[in-house]
Amino acid sequence: MAPLLEGRDADAFLFSPQETMAWWQAEKRKRRKSKVQPSQVDRRKKKAYKLPGPHYTVHSYCRAVRYAIERANTAAACDACKMLKPAERCKECQARAIPLWHPYQLRHNAATRLVEQFGWDVARIVLGHRQVSTTRIYALDDIKKAAEAMAKAG
C-alpha cells in the first residue's frame, strides 16, 4: 500500500483513470517489439471526445463490477454456452452464474448495519441524508428486533 501513497496529497484520490491510462500506454510501449514509427510517437487525439478523468465515478465502478461478473460467468460456462448470451445459456450454467450485483448494495448494507448498531439518526448523518425517511429507503428493517418485541409483547 505504501507505494500507492508515496508523493500523493492526503486529499488526492488513490486511483485515477488518468494515471491508469498513462501507465497502461507506457507498459504497451515497453512491450513493443518493433521500432516506433515517427507518425506513431504520439497518437493521442488532440481533441478527444472523452478523456480519462481524475477519479473513478460510481458509474465506472458499476461498469467494472458488471463487466467482471459477465467475464466470470462466461469463463465458468460450459463450452456449448460460452458464445451464448447469459439468458440463453443452459440451466446448469445459469444456476452456477454469479448473480447480478450493484455497488449500491454496499451502501444499503452499511445503512442496515448502522441502524442496527447506532440507530436511525446516526445512520442518517453518516449517509448524508437530511431526513430519516430517506435513510429508511436504504436500511432494511431489523426482523430480529421485531421478533423479540413480539415475543415480549406476547
From first to last of its 154 residues, the chain has per-residue pLDDT tens of 567 677 778 788 888 888 888 888 889 888 888 887 777 777 666 777 778 888 888 888 889 889 999 999 999 999 999 999 989 999 999 999 999 888 888 888 889 899 889 988 999 999 999 998 888 888 877 666 777 778 888 7
pTM over 0.85: no
pLDDT value at residue 37: 78
Q: What is the pLDDT of residue 18?
A: 86
Residues in the chain: 154
Question: What is the torsional sign of CA 131, 13, 18, 68?
Answer: negative
Rounded Cα distance, 73 and 88, in Å: 13
Report the alpha-carbon distance of residue 61 to residue 59 in Å, rounded.
5
* DSSP labels, 84-138: S-GGGS-HHHHHHSPPP--THHHHHHHHHHHHHHH-HHHHHHHHT-SSHHHHHHH
pLDDT, position 130: 93
Quick one: pLDDT at residue 135?
Answer: 87
Query: Would you state the cell numbers that stand for residue 112, as one nine-digit string?
Result: 442496515
Q: Which residue is associated with the grid cell 440463453?
A: 88
Q: Look at residue 7 in the predicted model and tell me its pLDDT.
A: 78
